[in-house]
Amino acid sequence: MNYTKKILITGGAGFIGSCLVRHLVAKYPNYLIVNADKLTYAGNLANLESIKDASNYRFVKADICDAAAMQQIFTEYSIDHVIHTAAESHVDRSISNPMEFVQTNVVGTVKLLNICKSAWQDDAAHLFYHISTDEVYGSLGETGKFTETTPYDPRSPYSSSKASSDHFVRAYHETYGLPTVISNCSNNYGPFHFPEKLIPLCINNILHEKPLPVYGKGDNIRDWLFVQDHVEAIDLIFHQGKTGSTYNIGGDNEWKNIDLVRALCKIMDRKLGRAIGSSEKLITFVKDRAGHDQRYAIDFTKLNSELGWKPKAQFEEGLEETVQWYLDHQNWVEQVISGEYKKYYEAQYTTR
Ligand code: NAD
Ligand code: DAU
């Protein structure tokens, strides 16, 4: 088969990466999709069950920090495009172990950029697409939104590592002319979300009648976007985005954490046939996250006016669908929360 593009997706066994891989493999049979993932605690091959035998899909277990292994993938598959989603993604883990974030998010990204720079010396079409976060812009007060020109002000080890990798991507574009594009997205939610994150953690704890740990007063605000909407924005930017550009992606959907947790309680009470209000009793205010960013909000005017993207999912429907997915996939949850995650959960919450 003569594939028209040979795309390396890094981190394609994670939450967003696997949604992207499933989407691209199904939608573009003329593209070869090569998924390289280290399979950390957050990477799970069960997320890729639906496409694992597709003829245009390959999986390679590899660490992006292992330059020889990555070079081997480039050579074997003649990779001409990269969508880089691999990262350590959890803010709380970055607070207890920043070095792992420097290693994968910064060093791993620069190693990949080096491979692209030396592999792509011909005149063929190439692109290094870096998937990033709105957290690089820091924390907002009550008003305003992040635009693509908001100065970087990362405040956690996680967001600092992502900001650093964004800077390296831009530097490789400016210095070496590497064709790059970056998008910075707000909080995603949906199926296959690792249960260390707020929404799946609460769904799982409500189901098992365990405390719902809300940091601080629960008044921090996040902008939530359904993961499939993020993936469709990535698809659009990958194909039509301007090289060297940055695009913000958001849901126009701000929620205080406490209101979101209450909304989840209501949905779960109804679905589980429990008395309305019973799950809310599980809400427990715990010690705040160190350096907790107060509010994120995204202005995605550029993506809307240049490429016509806007989110499709209604939040209430997306949340219902997500809750139902977790109820229907308890085997998946049990599998991913066994082992390493159990120890993490105890260390993170038992004495909080
Ligand atoms: P995730 O933690 O669910 O998945 C990360 C994946 O990367 C896992 O499959 C893991 O095995 C893999 N990985 C980690 N280190 C690796 C390494 N050294 N080599 C190869 N693979 C490695 O993350 P996610 O939530 O899906 O986020 C994906 C990307 O999107 C990240 O870059 C993150 O910064 C960004 N992002 C996430 C969100 C969100 O709300 N989750 C929002 C905006 C941006
Ligand atoms: O904004 C995009 C970012 O969103 C991504 O770049 C990150 O990879 C992703 O993890 C996410 O970061 P957050 O820190 O916003 O997500 P998290 O689900 O960890 O937390 C959401 C909010 O809920 C945050 O204000 C902290 C709070 N929280 C979280 C947990 C895990 C709680 O109150 N209790 C909890 O137990």
How far apart are the CA of 21 and the centre of ligand 2, in A?
Answer: 23
Identity at 13, one-letter amino acid code: A
Q: How far is the CA of 352 from the centre of ligand 1 (A)?
A: 26
| Main-chain phi, psi angles of 135, to 5 degrees | -65, -15
Distance, CA 90 to ligand 1 centroid (Å)?
9
40 in contact with ligand 1, CB cutoff 6 A: yes
C-alpha distance across the termini of the chain, in Å: 55
Residue 55 CB neighbours (<10 A): 9
Distance CA 101, CA 162 (A): 9
Q: What local confidence, expressed as pLDDT, does residue 340 receive?
A: 84
Strand 5-10 with 31-37, pairing:
parallel
Q: Stretch 70-86: mean pLDDT, rounded?
A: 98
Q: What is the CA radius of gyration of the chain?
A: 20
Rounded to two decimals, the pTM is: 0.98
Question: Does residue 339 carry a pLDDT above 80?
Answer: no
The per-residue pLDDT for range 107-139, each reduced to its tens digit, is 999 999 999 999 999 989 999 999 999 999 999
The DSSP line for 277-323 is TTGGGGEEEEPPPTT---B--B--HHHHHHH-------HHHHHHHHH
| CA 198 to ligand 2 center in whole angstroms | 6
Q: Is the CB of residue 17 below 6 angstroms from any atom belonging to ligand 1?
A: yes
Q: What is the CATH number of domain 5-189+223-249?
A: 3.40.50.720
> Which one of the ligands is nearest to 216 CA?
2
The ligand 2 atom at the shortest distance from the C-alpha of residue 261 is 33
pLDDT at 178: 98
Q: Domain boundaries in the chain? A: 5-189+223-249
Instruction: List active site positions.
Output: 134-135, 158
Neighbours of 99 (CB within 10 A): 11
Nearest CA to ligand 2 atom 14: 91
Residue 165 Cβ inside 6 Å of ligand 1? The answer reads no
Question: 3-class DSSP state for residue 212?
Answer: strand
CB atoms within 10 A of CB 325: 16
Report strand pairing: 81-84 vs 57-61.
unpaired
Whose atoms come closest to the Cα of 139: which ligand? 2
- What are φ and ψ of residue 131, in 5° steps? -90, 120
* pLDDT, tens digit (0-9, with 9 covering 90-100), for 9-44: 999 999 999 999 999 999 999 999 999 999 999 999
The predicted-structure confidence for 190-246, as pLDDT tens digits, reads as follows 999 999 999 999 999 999 999 999 999 999 999 999 999 999 999 999 999 999 999
Query: In the beta sheet, which residues pair with residue 286?
Result: 215
Contacts of 39 by beta carbon, 8 Å cutoff, 6+ apart: 13, 45, 61
For the CA of 88, the nearest ligand? 1
pLDDT tens-place string over residues 297-326: 999 999 999 999 999 999 999 999 999 999
